[in-house]
Amino acid sequence: MADLKELRELTGDENGAQRVAWTDTWEQAREWLRGKLDGLPLEEEIDPAGNQWWTLRGRSHRAVLIGGHIDSVPNGGWLDGALNVVAGVEVVRHLAEGGQPAATVRLVNWADEEGARFGRSLFGSSAAAGSMVDQDELRARRDADGVALPDALSEHGVDLDDALEARSQLEDAAAYLELHIEQGPVLESLDLPLGVVLGTFGVERHQVTFRGQAAHAGSTPMDKRRDALAGAAKLELEIREIANRTGNGAVCTMGGVVTRPGIVTSVVETAECLLDQRHLDANQLAEMLSNAEAASRRFAQEEDIEVEWERIWNIEPILFDESLIELADESIREVAGGQSHRLPSGPLHDAAEVARAGVPTVMLFVQSLRGLSHTKLEDTKEEHLELSVQALDRLADKTIARVAAE
Ligand SMILES: [Zn+2]
């Protein structure tokens, strides 16, 4: 707790945390982290993607990884990412006190999880996972002040061309553990401090465009209209039904609708809708998508308009490791009065990249007050933060024993 508060003092201001990756404040936070691990029998290394690693050699070279990210969004919260790393420091301290562990333990502070400055999330973890395939596009990215991404990186000793060499870091990885604040309201609503994360949602993002006919708002009778907004409005209500029918955490959001010509005296000719659908199960996600498509065609027919779908982005659901989920559940029950809960994660995390690379992975969530994150209002009860570190400590012990015995 003292370390977390110290970091907040050092790298925050009246508007919240300011540890944006590839800035001086971020570098200061990394330096602070280094200081916290000083004096422990660890090997320190910064990999070619800028990820900071500390290795406690165990009797087995197979490694249990504990990860987090010290970077924040501008005016961010004090716990997002930082809790993970600081809890990891505490676990490593504890392990080092016990002499050489049965398996190697590595703490990693991923570089630029948030993507706040250049709009590219999960930078360091995707490089280590080998899934970074957009280097050509990254080379052209600039921040709000016009600074190119490769220039900002090189100021911090990272050459974009070499970033994928970080892949070698996962070679001996036998398990990956990450503690994170939930950033949502579920655990608080259940009055539970901690939960096990089953995986991260798959996402389908589409632009759905309805096309009708612009016509005078005064002279066009109601039954003669081809109103594109009518299709969009019906679809917005239908996606809520689709999510409810699908259940198991399904969410559908129409995050924006742009109408043209967009004047008060005309029937809407085109309505461009932004649709985001998420589910932990790939089949159910595909079904939600096809249900929404079918519904949009039905509405287009009813309104005598046309509809067109264009995919903006998608990612498959990423499931965490079943046996690590069991260990995490056990760890939570031991520290939190016998109660645990399993839930999916809506946001993506570094853990998803590591899991995608084939490393058995699990995450713990600790309750977020009011479900708020990415704001200075982000908070968690101190007693819950303490429980979360204890649960991570137990989970690390169990995982080390499991990995050493394999
Ligand atoms: Zn985070």
Distances (CA, A) of 214 to 188, 195, 211, 219, 303: 48, 52, 9, 12, 14
What average pLDDT does range 133-144 have in this prediction? 91
First-to-final CA distance of the chain = 35
Q: What pLDDT is recorded for position 133?
A: 87
Q: What pLDDT is recorded for position 87?
A: 98
Question: Would you call 238 helix, strand, or coil by DSSP?
Answer: helix
CA distance 402 to 406: 6
CA 178 to ligand 1 center in whole angstroms? 10
Q: What is the DSSP string of 324-389?
A: HHHHHHHHHHHHTTT---EEEESS--HHHHHHHTT--EEEEEE--GGG--SSTT----HHHHHHHH
Element (H, E) at 64: strand 60-68
Task: Dihedral sign for Cα 128, 281, 277, 182, please.
Answer: negative
Reported confidence tier of residue 18, pLDDT bands at 50, 70, 90 = very high
- Is residue 369 scored above 90 in pLDDT? yes
Q: Is 247 exposed, middle or buried (0-12, 13-18, 19+ CB in 10 A)?
A: exposed
Beta strands in 151-305 (DSSP E): 173-181, 194-200, 202-211, 251-260, 270-279
CA 113 to ligand 1 center in whole angstroms? 7
CA 72 to ligand 1 center in whole angstroms? 8
CA 43 to ligand 1 center in whole angstroms? 25
CA 80 to ligand 1 center in whole angstroms? 5
CA distance 81 to 110: 9
Reported confidence tier of residue 284, pLDDT bands at 50, 70, 90 = very high
Average pLDDT, the chain: 96
- Is residue 134 scored above 90 in pLDDT? no
- Is residue 3 scored above 90 in pLDDT? yes
Q: What pLDDT is recorded for position 348?
A: 87
What average pLDDT does range 312-331 have in this prediction? 95
CA distance 220 to 201: 45
Overall residue count recorded for the chain in this entry: 406
* Beta strand 43-46 pairing with 52-56: antiparallel
CA 118 to ligand 1 center in whole angstroms? 16
pTM of this structure: 0.89
206 beta partners: 275, 311
- Is residue 347 scored above 90 in pLDDT? no
CA distance 38 to 32: 10
Q: Above pLDDT 90, what percent of the chain?
A: 95
CA distance 74 to 71: 9
- Is residue 280 scored above 90 in pLDDT? yes
CA distance 75 to 18: 6
Reported confidence tier of residue 315, pLDDT bands at 50, 70, 90 = confident
CA 237 to ligand 1 center in whole angstroms? 32
CA 352 to ligand 1 center in whole angstroms? 12
CA 344 to ligand 1 center in whole angstroms? 15
Please list, in sequence order, all residues whose beta carbon lies within 8 angstroms of the beta carbon of residue 329, skipping any fewer than 6 positions away. Answer: 196, 340, 342
CA distance 199 to 340: 16
pLDDT tens for each residue of 218-258: 999 999 999 999 999 999 999 999 999 999 999 999 999 99
pLDDT tens for each residue of 81-102: 999 999 999 999 999 999 999 9
- Is residue 313 scored above 90 in pLDDT? no
CA 372 to ligand 1 center in whole angstroms? 12
CA 114 to ligand 1 center in whole angstroms? 7
Centre a 10 Å sphere on the Cβ of residue 321 and count the other Cβ atoms it contains. Answer: 17
Q: What pLDDT is recorded for position 69?
A: 98
- Is residue 119 scored above 90 in pLDDT? no
pLDDT tens for each residue of 330-344: 999 999 999 999 999
CA 104 to ligand 1 center in whole angstroms? 25
CA 140 to ligand 1 center in whole angstroms? 25
CA 349 to ligand 1 center in whole angstroms? 6
